[in-house]
Amino acid sequence: MGGGRGRRSNPAGDSIPQLCHRTPGVPIDVPVPTPPHVPQPRPPRPHCCVSLQASCSVSPQDLAVPNAGWSAAMCEQYQRLLRCTTNGSWRRIPSYRRGLDHLPEVLQMTVDPGPGPRLFLRNVDAEGAGFEYAIFLHASGRRTRCLCQVGPYLEGHQGFAHGGAIATLVDTTVGTCALAAAKMSAMTAKLSISYLAPVPLGAVVVADSRVEQHEGRKIFLSCQVCDTQRDTLYAEATALFIQVEDNNSPPSPAACPQR
């Protein structure tokens, strides 16, 4: 016979089926029930408690500052925009890996950021490979300016940034402006973009956004993406954001802690 059965002969010459692997006490040809799988609880992720007065052992790292992946043009433009903050007309907004790091009133913060949720623009760890950017907020709270270097991981057509990457840059720039104007949470309701010229990978661009109208919970904005010399207009957009009125709304960027 095939499979797991063999045969042996007894003195009477009868052929007796024999199991190669038989569980003691279980009749032949009766399947052994498989015990149900019991899921093991996951070990808790390490965390520590923090407050406004006490700091955690691991502080959020502000990533909107120069690093080894920034080009000379990116650093030069960053310093130029940073000088505009000395008289109080503009303010640099810190940028962290996670949205919760912008909320100082949160009482628990994960020590190890690990593989958990991240801001979309901060989902690449390699310096210079993805979005390298810094956002500046006007004192009026109705204008934002985003300086961005487009990394090689954002490629769409060979040698140029993916249109979705430019849309993300625009959405982030106008979204920061909308949050500052709303002074509460606001979400994208409509975003319309006209792509006028492809953005080369490695290029340094400036996205300028402003509030055009604020009606109740509706915030209408515009945005232009240009090169740093304002010679090339890569894209222009209009957006509509809606204020989200709930008790868990994050603060506006103007309320975010400075580095």
Residues marked as catalytic? 171
**Distance of alpha carbon 7 from alpha carbon 2, whole angstroms:** 10
Q: Which of 91, 78, 114 is nearest to 256 (CA)?
A: 91
List, in sequence order, every residue forming a beta bridge with 108; answer none if it has no partner.
49
Burial track 9-38 (b if 16+ CB lie within 10 A, e otherwise): eeeeeeeeeeeeeeeeeeeeeeeeeeeeee
Q: Which of 236, 142, 130, 138 is nearest to 191 (CA)?
A: 236
**Distance of alpha carbon 55 from alpha carbon 48, whole angstroms:** 10
Place of tokens 């030069």: 76
